[in-house]
Amino acid sequence: MLMKEQSHNSRRGKMRRSPINKDVDDAPLNKNRSLSPEWLKILSKRILKGDSWDEKESFLTSSISVLKKAVEDISLVVVTGPDGEVTYASEEYIQTMQFDQEEIVGKSYFDRIDVNTMNVTDCTVLTTAIKEGYDIKVESRHQKKNGSLAVLETAVFPLVHSGMRFANLILHQDITPLKEAEETIKELVTVDVLTGLKNRKQFELDLQKMITSYQSLSKSAAVLFIDLDRFKYYNDTLGHFTGDKLIEEISKELVLFENSQVSVYRYGGDEFTILMRNEPEREAVESVARKVLARFQKPFLVLDNELFITATVGISLYPETGVASTPLVQQSEIAMQHAKERGKNHYQVYETSLRTKRDERLRIEKRLRKATENQQFQLYYQPQVDLKENKVVGFEALLRWNDEKLGDVSPGVFIPIAEDSGLIFPIGDWVLEQACYQAKQWYDKGFSTRMGINISPKQFQRPDFVGKVKNIIEKTGVNPSLLDLEITENDLLYNRDECFKTLKRLKDIGIQISIDDFGTGYSSLSYLRRFPIDTLKIDQSFIREVIENTNDQAIVTSIIQLAHNMNMRVIAEGVETAEMVMFLNERNCDEMQGFLYSKALPADNVMDFVNEKEPTAVLHS
């Protein structure tokens, strides 16, 4: 090898090299393989000061060779005539396009352009530049032999001699990998990873694009905002993995609503949006909302479990309710919240009056936070009377709030706000502690009665709930046997194993358990058989018309019989007339509470009221 190398060098040594050729051979290239500005200065000097025409010709030939090599190293080169016919294509362009030379050279350059995927403006500019001869730089898309596309950054330079254009030099940079990377990033940014649906960012982009295009047109559109009811409960009790699977199953159903005019998005968490374009009639929009809600009437199969969940839908209309993207989204959310407050599993079209209600709700929440921080609440106590012994045997602690600016606020108004905002936790803890203190004070004065305390569903589901109850009992010194914790029946239908464990631990402490508002939820007799429950409280909605309504009579009678057959006591709520007492006594109801005997009283008035007002005189008058 060494000898061959020496022989080669000796032959090169015999070749005549002019100073110009030497400069060409040694021409330095930049990192991007382009000729350096310094060398270009040398070229111009040599052309002007060459010793002879032969040297100039040799120099030009060598220069062109170097320039050609440099250009082809950094670009895919094509030369066309004014009509677009390819007269030259570099090997790199041929290889990139995966064609043979004869399939490119002599053919129209425009045959390679994929006009269907190119930007319309870029396509027009490129075609015009080649035919009419002027410099341009655009992004073009060329179809390869295998049918795939190459994205090329394309620059056109007309070649002119003696004032006449004889060719076009077209230089390309292959930016296909860059564009693929951009598309991947764009997809990651605008597609929800869990469900594959378009995400909130894409929804906002599509909504704004639609509004911009509709401004000069007489077209209508609609935004549907979908919020899952009680999804957080599933997520917290069954785990995030199950929650994610549920979201996936729901997404599979919602995507079935998509078509050329309807798009579905995962807005975030347990929220979805639907964008309806192109003049949807109001009835058509409401029809879609009803169909969405109808799908939630069937269970979703998740990890071999049937999970029941409902949804609430808010609707805003373009341009009827709003003409900008942000207000339209806000309006659909306001409408959705209003529908939730009406009982969930429903839809609502936005109306101007709803914003007033929303603003009022925000005002109440703001004042409620202040009241929670300063513990500006009161507990009132409604007596519970034993119908057989005709004496007060217990009280239900009821929360009251009188705000200096809002006045008396109904629990039916502020409790749901506390639930949604998370304020229910500190408020519930305060109620539990204050009721225990009061029960202890009455006990110390010889007034030994049961204390009924309502427990929020969110409180009951907390892992530390039993521990918190124990701490409050220890702190207040109350006898656990005096406590009667009231929970709603719906709380026991989900995550039943954990509910059973919680109730068992409470019973082990000595606490009594009541089911509040029995009959108004998704009643299931199976949980009554399994769970350690002491008392059923018949909701006042069944008592209110029990004298006139035969259906209510049948329901109340059945609940009393059911409870007694399972060794439970029964309390009837909302008793207001002596006729109701007579009916309940005939069915052997155990206890009652209601305005007939007493409304809820402040703690300071309770003992005097009970000592002065004999239940016998009231209930049998």
* Residues 76, 90: Cα–Cα separation, whole Å: 6
Compute and round to an integer the Cα radius of gyration of the chain: 41
Domain assignment present for 435: yes
Torsion sign (Cα): 214, 218, 223, 224: negative
Indicate if the pLDDT at residue 81 is higher than 60. Answer: yes
What does the pLDDT read at residue 55?
56
Domain assignment present for 357: no
Report, as an integer, the average pLDDT of 451-469: 92
The gap between the terminal CA atoms of the chain, to the nearest Å, is: 127
Q: Which of 410, 408, 506 is nearest to 455 (CA)?
A: 506
What does the pLDDT read at residue 528?
74
Q: In the sheet that 310-318 helps form, which strands lie side by side, from edge to edge?
A: 198-199, 262-268, 271-276, 221-229, 310-318, 347-349
Report, as an integer, the average pLDDT of 430-436: 97
Per the structure, the complete domain to which residue 49 belongs is given by: 1-73
What percentage of the chain reaches a pLDDT higher than 70? 85
Indicate if the pLDDT at residue 188 is higher than 80. Answer: no
What does the pLDDT read at residue 11?
37
Cβ within 8 Å of residue 616, ≥6 positions away: 390
Report, as an integer, the average pLDDT of 421-425: 93
* Residues 449, 439: Cα–Cα separation, whole Å: 7
What does the pLDDT read at residue 65?
67
What does the pLDDT read at residue 45?
52
Main-chain phi, psi angles of 225, to 5 degrees: -110, 120
Same domain, 112 and 147: yes
Report, as an integer, the average pLDDT of 610-616: 88
> Higher pLDDT residue, 33 or 91?
91
Least confident stretch, 173-177, 213-217, 220-224: 213-217
Report, as an integer, the average pLDDT of 455-476: 93
What does the pLDDT read at residue 29?
46
Domain endpoint, select from 164, 188, 212: 188
What does the pLDDT read at residue 179?
85
Report, as an integer, the average pLDDT of 232-243: 84
Average of per-residue pLDDT values in the chain: 85
* Residues 535, 484: Cα–Cα separation, whole Å: 9
DSSP string, 233-289: HHHHHH-HHHHHHHHHHHHHHHGGG-BTTEEEEEEETTEEEEEE-S---HHHHHHHH
Indicate if the pLDDT at residue 59 is higher than 70. Answer: no
Three-class SS string for 229-249?
A: ECHHHHHHHHCHHHHHHHHHH
Indicate if the pLDDT at residue 28 is higher than 60. Answer: no
Q: For residue 615, name the pLDDT band (cuts at 50, 70, 90).
A: confident
What does the pLDDT read at residue 404?
93
pTM comes to 0.58
What does the pLDDT read at residue 521?
54
What does the pLDDT read at residue 347?
96
What does the pLDDT read at residue 494?
61
Same domain, 237 and 373: no
Same domain, 301 and 447: no
DSSP E strand stretches across 432-533: 450-454, 483-488, 512-518
Q: What is the CATH number of the domain that holds 613?
A: 3.20.20.450
Indicate if the pLDDT at residue 23 is higher than 70. Answer: no
Q: What is the CATH number of the domain that holds 213?
A: 3.30.70.270
C-beta contacts of 262-267 below 8 A and 24+ residues apart: 262/288, 263/198, 263/203, 263/206, 264/197, 264/198, 265/192, 265/197, 265/198, 265/199, 265/200, 265/202, 265/203, 266/192, 266/194, 266/195, 266/197, 266/198, 266/199, 266/200, 267/199, 267/200, 267/203, 267/225
Same domain, 259 and 157: no
What percentage of the chain reaches a pLDDT higher than 90? 60
Same domain, 605 and 488: yes
What does the pLDDT read at residue 228?
95
* Residues 619, 584: Cα–Cα separation, whole Å: 11
Q: What is the CATH number of the domain that holds 112?
A: 3.30.450.20
pLDDT digits (tens, 9 = 90+) for 109-146: 999 899 888 888 889 999 999 999 889 999 999 999 99
> Higher pLDDT residue, 545 or 163?
545
Same domain, 313 and 418: no
Domain assignment present for 324: yes
DSSP string, 342-401: TTSS-EEE--HHHHHHHHHHHHHHHHHHHHHHHT--EEEEEEEEETTTTEEEEEEEEEEE
Indicate if the pLDDT at residue 25 is higher than 50. Answer: no
Which residues are paired to 222 by β-bridges? Answer: 276, 317
> Higher pLDDT residue, 589 or 357?
589
Q: How many domains does the chain have?
A: 4
* Residues 446, 442: Cα–Cα separation, whole Å: 6
Pairing verdict, β 450-454 and 483-488: parallel
Same domain, 276 and 241: yes
Domain endpoint, select from 188, 219, 244: 188
Kindly state the DSSP code that residue 574 receives in the 8-state scheme.
-
Same domain, 380 and 470: yes
Report, as an integer, the average pLDDT of 568-581: 94
What does the pLDDT read at residue 115?
86
Cβ within 8 Å of residue 460, ≥6 positions away: 487, 491, 499, 502
What does the pLDDT read at residue 93?
92
Report, as an integer, the average pLDDT of 371-385: 96
Q: In the sheet that 86-89 helps form, which strands lie side by side, from edge to edge?
A: 86-89, 76-80, 164-174, 149-161, 136-143
DSSP 3-state of 107: coil
Report, as an integer, the average pLDDT of 338-342: 86
What does the pLDDT read at residue 496?
73
Q: For residue 30, name the pLDDT band (cuts at 50, 70, 90).
A: very low
| Residue in this structure with the two tokens 């050329």, named with its chain if needed | 260
Outline where 388-464 has alpha helix (H). 411-421, 424-444, 457-461
Same domain, 501 and 612: yes
Indicate if the pLDDT at residue 214 is higher than 60. Answer: yes
**Do 129 and 121 contact (CB within 8 A), yes or no?**
no
* Residues 293, 287: Cα–Cα separation, whole Å: 10
What does the pLDDT read at residue 32?
44
Least confident stretch, 13-17, 281-285, 462-466, 507-511: 13-17
Query: 562: burial class by Cβ within 10 Å (0-12, 13-18, 19+)?
Result: middle
* Residues 330, 482: Cα–Cα separation, whole Å: 48
What does the pLDDT read at residue 80?
92
Domain assignment present for 358: no
**Do 21 and 56 contact (CB within 8 A), yes or no?**
no
Same domain, 491 and 503: yes
Domain assignment present for 562: yes
| Residue in this structure with the two tokens 């998370």, named with its chain if needed | 422
Domain endpoint, select from 350, 381, 407: 350
Same domain, 436 and 554: yes
What does the pLDDT read at residue 21?
44
Torsion sign (Cα): 491, 492, 495, 501: positive
Indicate if the pLDDT at residue 204 is higher than 80. Answer: yes
Report, as an integer, the average pLDDT of 147-158: 91
Q: For residue 567, name the pLDDT band (cuts at 50, 70, 90).
A: very high
> Higher pLDDT residue, 166 or 346?
346
Same domain, 302 and 412: no
Indicate if the pLDDT at residue 7 is higher than 80. Answer: no
Domain assignment present for 299: yes
